[in-house]
Structure formats: structure tokens, C-alpha cells
């Protein structure tokens, strides 16, 4: 447990030790706000954050892999991963520590969007429950993307390659639940297979939570996804350590 805490603190402090984290936060907050107001936030004349939350997954498709690409690729490229593995810590503890530090950083980025809900509350009387579930859904989808990015970061020494692979994987898992994609696949896939494709999509489960209905299957989807991808990441790093 001490090893896990050490990795978590080291990684989280590392984000704010350079200007990169602050640049990331500024870009994230600017784009999230710009997309929200560009898509008619005021024109809707409704006190809700549907537009804001609807845009976040697509912003995360780019921003989260950009956060994750350095997790292991940088360690492997600089050779510091060998030093890390000489410490009294298991590979799984290191993976979880790095993942939770990056997830905490993304949670901070989400928390800094507080002016949006404050604006909504000032302009009207929104459903606070929907805002809370919206942030929960956003945090879960960020964690899912981060787990995928962590896997590809462990897979390649090149940060750019790991970034591109993670973006493609996240985009596919998002697009597979889009109505246009499902309509296109409906012509080639049988109904049971189409249901499987839809159930594996980030978009499907994200939209379900966004409606304010927290179901076990949606939470379980993200938890299984995060555990699965981080576990595979641990397996890959264990093999690298042994070789």
C-alpha cells in the first residue's frame, strides 16, 4: 500500500511540476466552454447542461489519450521504468497508482468547469440531480478512455503512436453507439449482433446515465472496462519486466 501511495503522489505531483498540465487545463476549459456556447447554450432558453455534457466525450477522445500517452511510454523511453520496478512495489500497484493519479487530474479538470453549472443555476432552476449524474457519467467515460490510453502507452515506447492508437480505439467505441452507425450496420448485421455492438459502446451507457437514471449495467460497464484494460496493461508490463 505504501508503494501505491508513493507512485500516486509522485505521478500527481508530476503533472503540476511542468507547464504541460496547466496548458492542458486551459485548452480543455476553453474548448469545453466554446463548444457549449457555440452550440446554442443561451438560445435553448433551458436551464440544463445537455449541450455541455453531450460534447465532453468527443473532447475526451482527444484530451484523455493525450494525458495517458506519457504514463508508460515515457518511462520506457527514458529507462526510468527499470528504476521503478526495482522499488518494493508490484507492477499492479504501479499501474493502479499511475491510473488513479491521471484520473484524479482529469477529475480536477472537470471540477474546474464549475462556472457552467453556476451559470445555469443563476439563469434558471435546473435539475441538480441531472447535473450530478452528468458529471458522474463524464468522470466514468474519462476513466474508460484513460484505461485504454494506459494500455496503449504500455504497448509502445513512442508516445505519438500510443496516442494515435488510443484515439482510434476510443473513437470506435464511441461511434459504435451512434444512431447513424447502428442504422448502417443494421443492413449487414443480424439484430442480436447489432445489440451487442450497441451494448459495447461508450455512447450508449454514457447517454443512459446522462438521463439521470443510474442503472447497475451502466456502472458495471465502465468498471469492467477500466479493470479489464488496466489488468491487460499490468500483464504487458509484467512480461516486459520478466524479459
Contact 158, 185 (CB under 8 A): no
Question: pLDDT digit string (tens) for 2-21?
Answer: 667 888 888 888 888 888 88
* CB-based burial label for 97 (10 Å; 0-12, 13-18, 19+): buried
Residue 211, all three cell numbers:
438521463
Nearest to 155 by CA among 224, 72, 229, 62: 72
pLDDT at 220 over 90: yes
Question: pLDDT digit string (tens) for 115-149?
Answer: 888 888 887 788 888 899 999 999 999 999 999 99
Instruction: Give the pLDDT of residue 14.
Output: 83
Confidence of residue 88 (pLDDT cuts 50, 70, 90): confident
More confident residue, 21 or 81: 21
pLDDT at 217 over 60: yes
Q: Kindly report the backbone phi and psi dihedral angles of residue 44, in degrees, each rounded to the nearest multiple of 5, phi listed first.
A: -65, -30
DSSP 6-33: HHHHHHHHHHTSSHHHHHHHHHHHHHHH
Which range (21-30, 57-66, 70-79, 229-238) has the least confidence? 70-79
Cα(53)–Cα(174) distance, integer angstroms: 14
Nearest to 172 by CA among 191, 192, 144: 144
Confidence of residue 166 (pLDDT cuts 50, 70, 90): very high
**Cα 81 to Cα 77, 140, 150, 228, distances in angstroms:** 9, 28, 14, 22
Contact 44, 54 (CB under 8 A): no
Instruction: Give the pLDDT of residue 242.
Output: 59
Residue 203, all three cell numbers:
455512447
Q: Where are the domains of the chain?
A: 2-242
Confidence of residue 100 (pLDDT cuts 50, 70, 90): very high
- The position carrying cell 440531480 is 129
Q: What is the 3-state secondary structure (H, E, C) of 204-232?
A: HHHHHHHCCCCCHHHHHHHHHHHHHHHHH
For 13-19, the CB contacts below 8 A with 24+ separation are 15/101, 15/102, 15/105
Amino acid at each position: 500500500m505504501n508503494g501505491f501511495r508513493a507512485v500516486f503522489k509522485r505521478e500527481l505531483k508530476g503533472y503540476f511540476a511542468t507547464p504541460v498540465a496547466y496548458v492542458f487545463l486551459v485548452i480543455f476549459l476553453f474548448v469545453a466552454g466554446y463548444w457549449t456556447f457555440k452550440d446554442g447554450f443561451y438560445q435553448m432558453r433551458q436551464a440544463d447542461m445537455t449541450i455541455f455534457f453531450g460534447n465532453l466525450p468527443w473532447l475526451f477522445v482527444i484530451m484523455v489519450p493525450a494525458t495517458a500517452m506519457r504514463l508508460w511510454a515515457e518511462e520506457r523511453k527514458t529507462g526510468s521504468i527499470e528504476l521503478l520496478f526495482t522499488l518494493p512495489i508490484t507492477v499492479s500497484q504501479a499501474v493502479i497508482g499511475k491510473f488513479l493519479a491521471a484520473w484524479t487530474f482529469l477529475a480536477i479538470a472537470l471540477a474546474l468547469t464549475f462556472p457552467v453549472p453556476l451559470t445555469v443555476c443563476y439563469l434558471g432552476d435546473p435539475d441538480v440531480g441531472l447535473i450530478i449524474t452528468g458529471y458522474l457519467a463524464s468522470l466514468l467515460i474519462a476513466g474508460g478512455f484513460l484505461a485504454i490510453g494506459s494500455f496503449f502507452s504500455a504497448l509502445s515506447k513512442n508516445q505519438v503512436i500510443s496516442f494515435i492508437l488510443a484515439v482510434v480505439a476510443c473513437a470506435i467505441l464511441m461511434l459504435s453507439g451512434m444512431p447513424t452507425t447502428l442504422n448502417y450496420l443494421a443492413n449487414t448485421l443480424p439484430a442480436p449482433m447489432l445489440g451487442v455492438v450497441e451494448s459495447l459502446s461508450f455512447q450508449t451507457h454514457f447517454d443512459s446515465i446522462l438521463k439521470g437514471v443510474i442503472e447497475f449495467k451502466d456502472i458495471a460497464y465502465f468498471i469492467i472496462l477500466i479493470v479489464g484494460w488496466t489488468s491487460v496493461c499490468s500483464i504487458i508490463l509484467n512480461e516486459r519486466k520478466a524479459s
